[in-house]
Structure 1
Amino acid sequence: MAKEVDLLSYQSKIIQEIREFKVLSEVESPQHEFVWQAVEDAINDQFANTLTDNGCKRWESIMDIHKLDTDDLDFRRFRILSKLNERLPYSYRMLELQLKTLCGDDGYTMVLKNNEYTLKVRIALASKNKYSDVETTMRKYVPANIIIDVSLMYNRHETVASFTHEQLVKYTHLQLREEELDVYHNN
């Protein structure tokens, strides 16, 4: 946030009482606040986690990332950070690291079936908005001879068993299957 600048407070008590200096201070303070904000934004734009809208625009242009109208600032930062984290070698551990970056530690499961040349990745419902980014990452990191099976970790009976029928009847079957259930505890 912009720092409020009170130029008059830097003057001596005698100067603070003069009307012309009071007016001058009132006129110049917003300009100093603007400069202070510009310096703060420049510092924030040096790090992916604190990028401003302007910083995101610059990085998206450099990395050829296309912003969607629905993308908020945090999601744009996330995409930039994901792109920055891409690096060789393409290994199972590196793929795990990418998935942890995208979905968090508990936001996915991954099973490699070597004999079947299949890699199964399940994305937690909490990370379902990152589904397309996970698919893109898989296509980039996984060798072409391995079948990639990416899908969501839908809620199962074990997940909804802790809820009463009275709690569950408020929701459709689709909602119970495809939405995070933590939200329902608050109702």
Structure 2
Amino acid sequence: MSLLDKWPEFLQTLAEFRALSDALSPEADAARAAVEGMAREFSAYTLSEWGVERWEDILGLTGKDADDLNSRRVRIITKIIEQPPITKRVLYNQLRSLAGDGRFTMDIDYGLHKLEVKLDLGSKSAFEDVKALVERSAPADMVLSVSLLFNTHSMLGAYTHAALAAHTHEELRSEVFSDGG
């Protein structure tokens, strides 16, 4: 709907008001779109780029250039729902939201006061966020270990020697191989 349509009919016929409407319509349309877009900024699940930047600034989070909008939203949601003291289930659910379901292991040795989290190589982009979450959330008396689940001999056993020879040892150890050989 144009700005001209909002005025009484007798003003719509005047050339001056048609010209005024043409001049003001872009600003009015931009203002209307901004007001309508504000509804997205009320939920962390629907934040726009502007809203994500604003929340990252408020929460003291640093967005990574490689992260997409959804990854940054998840980081904001995780920070918002973080409420110490934290239970094993809450920590597990937060890790699942950061790394992905089935993309990590979490072991707690209560006798040795040790918490160990290992991330799947497919989730290594979330490593720093997971490490920060574990350090913020775990009790102070726990020894913390956050690491990657590197490829093992049994994981690469399906590949031929010729297929593996095309890669360096570092690539074999720390890159995701998913085509099965």
Q: TM-score, normalised on structure 1?
A: 0.74
Q: Deviations over 1:32-91 (max 9, x none)?
A: 653454245322222223211210122122212233444443332222111112124312
CA RMSD between the two structures: 3.2
Residue 178 of structure 1, CA deviation = 0.8
- For 1:58, the equivalent position in structure 2 comes to 54
Q: Which runs of 5+ in 1 are unaligned?
A: 8-21
AA in 2 matched with 1:153? L
> How many equivalent pairs are there?
175
Structure 1: how far apart are the matches of 2:157 and 2:31? 57
Alpha carbons of structure 1 residues 36 and 113: separation in structure 2 relative to 1, 3 Å = same
Among 142, 147, 154, the alignment partner of 1:151 is 147
Bigger drift between 166-175 and 48-57 goes to 166-175
Bigger drift between 83-92 and 103-112 goes to 83-92
Alpha carbons of structure 1 residues 186 and 23: separation in structure 2 relative to 1, 3 Å = farther
Q: Which runs of 5+ in 2 are unaligned?
A: 4-17
- For 2:95, the equivalent position in structure 1 comes to 99
Structure 1: how far apart are the matches of 2:62 and 2:70? 15
AA in 2 matched with 1:54? W
Matched, 1:89 2:79: no
Alpha carbons of structure 1 residues 57 and 164: separation in structure 2 relative to 1, 3 Å = same
Q: TM-score, normalised on structure 2?
A: 0.76
Tell me the SS of whatever aligns to 1:123: strand
Structure 2: how far apart are the matches of 1:51 and 1:125? 28
Structure 1: how far apart are the matches of 2:52 and 2:23? 32
Q: Are the counterparts in 1 of residues 150 and 174 from structure 2 also a CA contact under 8 Å? A: yes
- For 1:45, the equivalent position in structure 2 comes to 41
